């Protein structure tokens, strides 16, 4: 079983809902979630993590916050810009400024 897994990604009306499961027994600082819009002048802004409002373009979630939610993260984001057709979502486990594990998914918007 993967230690960080993007379980699902749902897209509707420019809103992306992402479900991530973290099951990592080793020492780590948190996870970083990035999104990249392909072939368009757009960007993804993260707006919510487990019901808490945020406004970030690169999201870092601390180990403490992950453990409080039993390793389950529900993230909402919006696509800012036009003509986005494909987006890559990447979730990485970070330990001392280094990536130790990751999962990514490429999704078609249209």
How many residues does the structure list for the chain? 110
- Residue 42 has what pLDDT? 85
> Alpha-carbon distance 34 to 59, whole Å?
7
pLDDT at res. 82: 77
Q: What is the mean pLDDT of each run of 10 residues along the chain (110 residues)?
A: 87 92 93 90 93 96 95 95 87 95 91
- For the chain, list the domains and their CATH numbers: 4-108 (2.60.40.10)
pTM equals 0.91
Do the Cβ atoms of 31 and 4 come closer than 8 Å? yes
State phi, psi for 64 to the nearest 5 degrees. -60, -45
Residue 109 backbone dihedrals phi, psi, to 5 degrees: -80, -40
């Amino acid at each position: 079983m993967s230690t960080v897994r993007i379980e699902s990604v749902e897209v509707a009306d420019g809103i992306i809902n992402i479900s991530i499961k973290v099951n990592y027994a080793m020492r780590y600082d948190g996870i970083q979630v990035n999104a990249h819009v392909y072939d368009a002048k757009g960007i993804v802004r993260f707006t919510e993590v487990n019901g808490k409002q945020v406004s970030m373009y690169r999201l870092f979630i601390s180990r403490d916050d992950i453990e409080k939610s039993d390793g389950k993260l529900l993230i909402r984001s919006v696509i800012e810009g036009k003509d986005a057709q494909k987006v890559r979502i990447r979730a990485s486990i970070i330990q001392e400024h280094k990536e130790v594990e990751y999962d990514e998914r490429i999704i078609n918007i249209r």
